[in-house]
Amino acid sequence: MAQLKLFLLGGARLKLDGEPLVGLASRKAEALLIYLACQPQPQPRDLLATLLWDDRPQQRALGNLSVLLSSLRKPLGSLLLSSRQTVGLDEAGVWADALVLARAVGAVAHKPLTGETAVSLQTTLALYHGDFLTGFSIRDASQFEEWQLLEQERLHRLAVTGWEQLTTYYLENQQWAAGIAAAQQLLRLDPLRERAQRQLMQLLAGDGQRHAALAQFDQCRQLLADELGVEPEAETVALAARIRAGEQGAGEQGDFLPCSPALLLPRTIYRATYPLVGRDRTGAIATRLPEPELSAVNAKRAGGLKTRLALVWKRRFQIYVFPTTHICLGWLNWVAGHCCQLPSPMPLVYRWRVRPRPRRSF
């Protein structure tokens, strides 16, 4: 059986039996292989046709899919599982870095790390070279694009969770050098995570790098001012004071709420019936979050808006929000009800979906 490897974190590279997979019929053939490799079971043909040709009539889209599958049978052989109803890949012959990452983080979620599992997790997290399918796109396939963006956010959040778990483990076990490296990786992914800033300060102080720890505090304070217009939390200021006075302040873990894959935004998203607000009005969104008429916030690509809103919400209402591609107040209400206390009742369940881009005619 052929062996297909997909490197999807930081780009899109496909290898078949160790060699680059070239000569595919189209970019959509590559997209189809990527989607199938990320699914746990074969997918209905109707779903795949709509995913790749949602601007075409169903019968024509199914015809396009059949042509695409015919072009893939020769290079893939028995690796391609195709019937009249479904299409899939034989998982025994498929390896994908995105799947490996998700399994590794899920395997240690809410479990204490050991020396062995910490090494294994760090090795797997090294596969995260960038966002899922960075630079990859196909034309006239808005549903594939929506799936891609959701996967991008989900995998980014899993990488953050993994590095945070490692950072906490190294801090608790006073493994300063390894902890500093882990905290720096975490902050590359999520620089506005103030708890991670505190952990890095503690690790640097524990390693005898007091001046570097205080410099990290200054950098954190400047970043929060530039991005959120706020001062550091009292815990961060107190930690800096202890370090300045010659105390390490290690061991204080803060108010971390673990991010489980189960708490991520569900895959099914429905069409919006309430207004969406753009990235350029972050401040207005933050002040209007409790209002019932503002149902959701849409940020099409990663870039800090969702994190900013989550942090502002946390500071203002003492709850923590997991920023994902779509921030829906109904969903946040569910998260808040399971993780923390709300100061007042919130509006419930606004279901929506990102509006597809206008069709282009050629």
Domain CATH for 90: 1.10.10.10
**8 with 84, same domain?**
yes
The phi, psi pair for 13, rounded to 5°, reads -130, 130
**44 with 153, same domain?**
no
**128 with 213, same domain?**
yes
**128 with 237, same domain?**
yes
Q: Which domain holds residue 306?
A: 265-339
Is 250 a member of any domain? Answer: no
Is 330 a member of any domain? Answer: yes
To which residue do tokens 């290898």 refer?
15
Domain count, the chain: 3
**139 with 214, same domain?**
yes
CA distances from 29 to 3, 12, 15, 21, 65 (A): 17, 13, 14, 11, 9
- Assess whether pLDDT exceeds 50 at residue 156: yes
**67 with 109, same domain?**
no
Which of 213, 244, 275 is where one domain is finished?
244
**65 with 127, same domain?**
no
What CATH number has the domain bearing residue 151? 1.25.40.10
**308 with 294, same domain?**
yes
The answer to whether 201 and 207 are in contact (CB under 8 A) is no
In terms of Cα–Cα distance, which of 64, 69, 61 is closest to 33?
Answer: 69
In terms of Cα–Cα distance, which of 171, 162, 158, 159 is closest to 197?
Answer: 171
**309 with 240, same domain?**
no
Which of 79, 96, 113 is where one domain is finished?
96
C-alpha torsion sign, points 165, 249, 181, 264: positive
**76 with 121, same domain?**
no
In DSSP notation, 73-110 reads HHHHGGGEEE-SSEEEE-GGGEEEHHHHHHHHHHHHTT
Is 149 a member of any domain? Answer: yes
Residue 128: per-residue pLDDT? 98
Q: What is the pTM of this model?
A: 0.72
Q: How many residues does the chain have?
A: 362
**220 with 151, same domain?**
yes
Q: Per-residue confidence at 1, pLDDT binned at 50, 70, 90?
A: confident
Least trusted range by pLDDT, from 95-109, 124-138, 148-162, 288-302 = 288-302
- Assess whether pLDDT exceeds 70 at residue 231: yes
End-to-end CA distance of the chain: 41
Is 231 a member of any domain? Answer: yes
Is 348 a member of any domain? Answer: no
- Assess whether pLDDT exceeds 50 at residue 278: no
Residue 327: per-residue pLDDT? 44
Residue 310: per-residue pLDDT? 54
**28 with 15, same domain?**
yes
Is 195 a member of any domain? Answer: yes
Q: What does the alpha-carbon distance between residue 73 and residue 26 come to, in Å, rounded to a whole number?
A: 14
Q: Which residues contact 263 (CB under 8 A, 6 or more apart)?
A: 322, 335, 338, 339
Is 353 a member of any domain? Answer: no
User: Stretch 152-169: mean pLDDT, rounded?
Assistant: 97
